[in-house]
Chains A and B, each alone.
Chain A
Amino acid sequence: AAGVIQSPRHLIKEKRETATLKCYPIPRHDTVYWYQQGPGQDPQFLISFYEKMQSDKGSIPDRFSAQQFSDYHSELNMSSLELGDSALYFCASSLRAGGIADTQYFGPGTRLTVL
């Protein structure tokens, strides 16, 4: 079965640089979530999109922005990178069926290292 695809898998940037992470959801899924996970921590929710509109917003820094495109893929844009942004970034997708639990399927992640 098709899974969530994320690219790139690894990314190394310098401080103050910009990074773009991409997420391709499972086919026919209409919702995308972005998470940040530091070492030994649970995933921290950043932002989500449902049918190409922002759905929920979590602890996403103002330096970060995201969008979902017409083909449902999503991009997380990160500017003015800081050392503390080094983490695993996960994208998850789901098929939201109003009212019942929204099971999220996670991608393999992008490991971002800021030097």
Chain B
Amino acid sequence: EDQVTQSPEALRLQEGESSSLNCSYTVSGLRGLFWYRQDPGKGPEFLFTLYSAGEEKEKERLKATLTKKESFLHITAPKPEDSATYLCAVQAAGGSYIPTFGRGTSLIVHP
């Protein structure tokens, strides 16, 4: 069974204090790993898709990396507007395209 574990569950940072969110996964063959940002009461906003170990992608203050067991979402010099829940999901190789989501990391950035 595919599993995704995100840590920490909640993270409080001061503005400008860089940190990383972790997504550990167990899947029988990885088709892709996704990162989303979700604000309260809104739909998840797509951030990145990573396909294979060693891959890295960046967008503004965010950088996602992937190994064979985990992914990190690095946040550099965060701002209060980066406060949100960050969701990680994996899609296993094979017939089904149903992603398995983690429970998310709730990030609060204080000014």
**Interface residue ranges, A against B (CB under 8 Å):** 4, 31, 41-43, 45, 48, 55-56, 58, 88, 90, 92, 94, 96, 99-109, 111
Q: Which of B14-22, B37-45, B76-84 contacts A (4 or more CB under 8 A)?
A: B37-45
Counting residue pairs across A and B whose Cβ atoms lie within 8 Å, the total is 61
**Interface residue ranges, B against A (CB under 8 Å):** 31-34, 36, 41-46, 49, 51, 87, 91, 96-99, 101-104
Q: Bound complex: CA of A92 vs CA of B101, how far in Å?
A: 14
Contacts A42-B87, A101-B49 known; 10 new A-B pairs at CB < 8 A: A4-B43, A41-B103, A42-B104, A43-B44, A45-B99, A101-B33, A101-B34, A102-B97, A106-B46, A108-B42
Q: Is the CB of A42 within 8 A of B103?
A: yes
Q: Is the CB of B98 within 8 A of A58?
A: yes
Q: Which residues of A contact B45 (CB under 8 A)?
A: 106
Q: Is the CB of A90 within 8 A of B43?
A: yes
Among the interface residues B34, B43, B49, which one has the most CB atoms of the partner chain A within 10 A?
B43
Contact of A56 with B101 at beta-carbon distance under 8 Å, contacts A90-B44, A109-B42 already known: no
- Taking a contact as CB atoms closer than 8 A, the residue among A4, A48, A88, A105 that contacts B97 in the complex is A48
Q: Which residues of A contact B44 (CB under 8 A)?
A: 43, 90, 106
Q: Which residues of A contact B31 (CB under 8 A)?
A: 99-102
